[in-house]
Chain A
Amino acid sequence: MAALVKHIDRPVAIAFGFIVLLLLAGSLYSSSFLSANYLLQQLQVAAFLGLIASGVMLVILLGHIDLSIPWLVTVGGMMSTAAAGWWGPEWAIPFGVFCGLVFGIVNGLGVAILRVPSMIFTLGINAVAQGIMVLHTGGFAPQDHATDLMHWLAVERVILGIPNAVFIWAALGIAIVVMLKRTPLGRYIYAIGNQEGATCLSGVNTKLVIISCFAISGMCSALAGVLLAGYSSKGYQAMGDPYLLPAIAAVVLGGTHILGGRGSYLGTIAGVILISLLASILSVMQMPEAGRQIIYGCVIIGMLLVYGRGQKVLG
């Protein structure tokens, strides 16, 4: 336990501190804020964001960024419901995630092989994904419904009243932590984030690592879309739009350096919970969308100013 505590960096500790603060502040506003039911509900919503943030974290660790999240989430949601309609319910989840994988690989190819800066390529892929979805739905709202399994995973709570979605997030999280700490791929990810040239010259197949991370990010976004569709019982246009900013914010607030090479998953967990709590408090206070956007932006800037700063440029 002591070893675990030693390894928590400052940003992560601060993030957890803020979580406690927010919980206290929220409890002042409404007494039910600290109830088990409410907290579990927060975790459930956080799980969706957590899935997305997990994938994005890997990409950010590499020193890149994935701005195609909004429409890849939508792709996951709409393609899974569509597959249920075309081929049967057992195809829904696999196909949704598969579409995310394909887009993710394309992202990876553009960044690793064509060497287009990731922020631009993924922005472009976002637009292309949107175009494909518009074509698919014929411009109208999608008609297909989510499968029972999707709904069960997203909404039901089977063990101890903990939402299933949280278990999915936990499973993904454990896999990622193990990967980052114990496997060669994890070492390479940090190395590339630090200095891609030196990593390549050490004989590492950096292209494969980059493509893998974008592929995982695509799958995570799509999976989140699948679950979101399960939550609302259908996929809908632009369902991923509200998740881009919070996902990146969560990763960065959790102490992962925006330029890559540094960061731990524990921080991402803290960041996700923090952002979700913030969103929930704002909706409880019935803050209009305008106010929410402003507060989001200010909170991100504020917290980054506290501990996310870069080095002053020296000779």
Chain B
Amino acid sequence: MSLADLKLRLAQSQGLIIAVVVFVLMFTLYIANHPAGLTVPVVTTAANKAVLLALVSMAQTLPVLTGGLDLSVGMVFVMTNCLASTLVSGSPLEVALGIVVVLLAGAAAGFVNGAIVVYGRLQPIITTLATGAVYYGIALLLRPVPGGEVQEDLADFMTWTVFDTVPTSLLLLLAVVLLVWLPFRNSVVGRGCYAVGSAEGAAYMSGLPVGRSRLAAFTLSGLLAGIAGLMLTFVTFSGEASAPIGGTYTLNSIAAVVIGGTSLYGGAGGAIGSIFGAFILRTIDDLLFVFDLPPLWQPLFQGVVLLGAVSLGAARVFRIRNRLELFN
């Protein structure tokens, strides 16, 4: 790659680079002010919470790339959590099977979303608003009250570290990026998602299978939400059909996507940016805790931060000098 190419690539990755830098700064601030400092327990706890949101944010990124939004991603997260709390226990074979079923359930939920959008030709927002209710209902059926169990050794392993240094959750995230996201991004179907989000009509005219790409985006999104739900079960050792949790994760995932540099209008960005967006959001929460913000003020602060984050990321008004461009 020549120097000109390198410069181009850097210019095109501006959003991601900023997100990474901001995260590193914030996390350093957090560790510096934490009474225990840079120890394995502190980093692992932070990592576990961050990875949960990161996975859900990756899930949200895919439909956003195609120009839509998924309001059901938090509910798929909750639903797969409840399912896992029922299935992922017992003998190793039962556990393995349980994990497979949970992941399939997530993918199936995503597939249903995608099928309704593509073949039913409905708008993603209203579709996922409605399917979110359905997934929440299923979660309630599985877990009318919080409870359930999960294979303890596995849960301990997933929520602790490998070689006593690197949090397993981070390795899981890395594995997902390497085995799911990067191959997808380099595939024809994956590029099709970007094309659809950028200019759907043009993509169709170029002979791209628009429907197939969209469907793939939603299905993969459901799978990622399923992985997140599974991880949640490992972290909490139980399943809970909580509408507030689902709603919060949905909103946070959208904010993470925006902070990470993915355009809400589709066609630009990526899941890696969303991961760092999620990390930033989680670090903000941790910072609130470390700086002793009174608990009563926390929801308001978090709300304002979320609002600020999405506004800054999505507000195009500051960069536009020709008002006509605002309407595109």
A residues at B contact (CB < 8 Å): 65, 110, 113-117, 119-121, 123-132, 134-135, 138-139, 195-197, 200-201, 241, 245, 248-249, 252, 258-259, 288-298, 300-301, 304-305, 308-315
Query: Which B288-327 residues sit within 8 Å CB-CB of chain A?
Result: 295-304, 306-307, 310-311, 314-317, 323-324, 326-327
Check B123 against A135 for contact (C-beta < 8 Å). no
Q: Chain A residues with Cβ under 8 A from B204's Cβ?
A: 313-315
Check A292 against B120 for contact (C-beta < 8 Å). no
Can you show 6 pairs from A to B with CB atoms below 8 A apart? A123-B310, A135-B296, A195-B327, A200-B323, A200-B327, A312-B121
Query: Is the contact region of chain A dominated by helix, strand, or loop, or is it mixed?
Result: helix
Q: Chain B residues with Cβ under 8 A from A304's Cβ?
A: 120, 122, 126-127, 130
B200 contacts chain A at the CB level, 8 A cutoff? yes
Check B297 against A258 for contact (C-beta < 8 Å). no
Q: In the assembly, what is the distance between CA of A313 and CA of B209, in Å?
A: 12
B residues at A contact (CB < 8 Å): 69, 116, 120-123, 125-127, 129-134, 136-138, 140-141, 144, 200-201, 204-205, 210, 243, 251, 254-255, 258, 264, 295-304, 306-307, 310-311, 314-317, 323-324, 326-328
Q: Chain A residues with Cβ under 8 A from B327's Cβ?
A: 195-197, 200
- How many cross-chain pairs have Cβ atoms below 8 Å apart between A and B? 162
Known: A116-B311, A131-B298. 9 other contacts (CB 8 A): A124-B311, A195-B327, A201-B324, A290-B137, A290-B141, A291-B137, A294-B134, A304-B122, A311-B121
Closest to B201 in A: A313
Least CB distance from A206 to B in Å reads 9
Q: Chain A residues with Cβ under 8 A from B300's Cβ?
A: 128, 131-132, 134-135
Closest to B325 in A: A197
Q: In the assembly, what is the distance between CA of A289 and CA of B144, in Å?
A: 9
Q: Chain A residues with Cβ under 8 A from B328's Cβ?
A: 197
Least CB distance from A152 to B in Å reads 33
Closest to A125 in B: B307
Q: In the assembly, what is the distance between CA of A296 and CA of B243, in Å?
A: 15
Knowing A131-B303, A245-B130, A259-B123, the reply to whether A121 touches B311 (Cβ < 8 A) is yes
Check B310 against A121 for contact (C-beta < 8 Å). yes
Least CB distance from B282 to A in Å reads 16
Check A110 against B311 for contact (C-beta < 8 Å). yes
Q: Chain A residues with Cβ under 8 A from B311's Cβ?
A: 110, 114, 116, 121, 124
Check A131 against B304 for contact (C-beta < 8 Å). yes
Q: Contacting B127 at CB < 8 Å: which of A125, A200, A301, A313?
A: A301
Q: Chain B residues with Cβ under 8 A from A116's Cβ?
A: 310-311, 314-315
Q: In the assembly, what is the distance between CA of A288 and CA of B145, in Å?
A: 13
Least CB distance from B293 to A in Å reads 12
Q: In the assembly, what is the distance between CA of A291 and CA of B144, in Å?
A: 11
Q: In the assembly, what is the distance between CA of A312 and CA of B127, in Å?
A: 17
Q: A65, A124, A295, A308 — which one has the most chain B CB atoms within 10 A of its CB? A: A124
Knowing A245-B133, A258-B126, the reply to whether A301 touches B116 (Cβ < 8 A) is yes
Check A301 against B130 for contact (C-beta < 8 Å). yes
Q: In the assembly, what is the distance between CA of A120 and CA of B306, in Å?
A: 10
Least CB distance from B276 to A in Å reads 19
Q: In the assembly, what is the distance between CA of A304 and CA of B117, in Å?
A: 11
Q: Chain A residues with Cβ under 8 A from B138's Cβ?
A: 290, 294
Q: In the assembly, what is the distance between CA of A309 and CA of B126, in Å?
A: 11
Q: Chain B residues with Cβ under 8 A from A310's Cβ?
A: 121-123
Q: In the assembly, what is the distance between CA of A313 and CA of B301, in Å?
A: 42
The 10 closest A-B pairs by CB, nearest first: A131-B300, A124-B307, A197-B327, A293-B137, A127-B303, A290-B140, A294-B137, A297-B134, A297-B133, A128-B303
Q: Contacting B307 at CB < 8 Å: which of A119, A127, A195?
A: A127
Q: In the assembly, what is the distance between CA of A115 and CA of B318, in Å?
A: 10
Check B296 against A134 for contact (C-beta < 8 Å). yes
Q: In the assembly, what is the distance between CA of A309 and CA of B136, in Å?
A: 25
Q: Contacting A315 at CB < 8 Å: which of B116, B140, B205?
A: B205
Q: In the assembly, what is the distance between CA of A120 and CA of B323, in Å?
A: 22
Q: B137, B255, B258, B326 — which one has the most chain A CB atoms within 10 A of its CB? A: B137
